[in-house]
Amino acid sequence: MIRLTHIGGPTTLIEVGGWRLLTDPTFDPPGARYAFGWGGASRKLTGPAVAADALGALDAVLLTHDHHGDNLDVAGRALLPRAGVVITTVAGAARVGGTGLAPWATTTLEAPGRTALEITATPCRHGPPGFHFVVGDVIGFALRWDAGACWITGDTVLYGGVRAAAERVDADVLLLHLGAVRFGVTGPLHYTLTARDAVTLCDIAKPRLVVPVHYEGWKHFSQDRADVERAFAGTPHDVRWLTPGEPTELR
């Protein structure tokens, strides 16, 4: 059994095997504008459904990348010292501390009385080909324990590396970062999965449950829940929408 609480954007509390993990902490109030480099910027439209102070103890933060405000904002950064460990990119660990993982590197959380939890970094490409110098390093996370597996895609477009991850991780539950992010300065180019590409990724991964996150709450998303629902209509995928702030058990 895994219990998920969607807090907003990519931020999700994952409870499994006695562990409490938080993805991409974002707890700033709405209204601020955040720069994403090379002329890209966005405004936060909605605040978190759960306050940072109400989270309780955290065993780990799974940080797909530290350099974009919609994945780690000011309040989220202040929360990092509360976590037992921060697991992120190699470059990110040099900036914020913690354990840095390159794609396909693995670390394991272990403690008496708890299920061992294997955490493997998966590849991402956070934009068009050739834009790494702008968007930097990003990873996803494949979690595996004795009774199941969960894959957090991270912010990525559909490309060879993430297709390979979909074939390899054998995810039971898939936390899918969506939104088809676009910036005016680069026109029609996308920086995260479109709804149509998300269906293709799920066709490859074949998870038992698909849980959309990171599709709302920011100005730079070009697709919302309605777009995702239309794309998945008629497919065999079991899509579960989480109510922000409401813990949901997935069996």
Instruction: Tell me the pLDDT of the chain (251 aa) as tens digits.
Output: 899 999 999 999 999 999 999 999 999 999 999 998 878 899 999 999 999 999 999 999 999 999 999 999 999 999 999 999 999 999 999 999 999 999 999 999 999 999 999 999 999 999 999 989 889 999 999 999 998 999 999 999 999 999 999 999 999 999 999 999 999 888 899 999 999 999 999 999 999 999 999 999 999 999 999 999 999 999 999 999 999 999 999 98
Per the listing, tokens 């040099």 go with 94
Contact 185, 39 (CB under 8 A): yes
Distance separating alpha carbons of residues 108 and 130, to the nearest angstrom = 33
- 44-48 CB contacts, 8 Å cutoff, 24+ apart: 44/69, 44/70, 44/73, 44/217, 44/218, 44/219, 45/216, 45/217, 45/218, 45/219, 46/8, 46/216, 46/217, 47/8, 48/7, 48/8, 48/11
Burial of 195 by CB count in 10 Å (0-12 exposed, 13-18 middle, 19+ buried)? buried
What domains can you pick out in the chain, each with its CATH number?
2-242 (3.60.15.10)
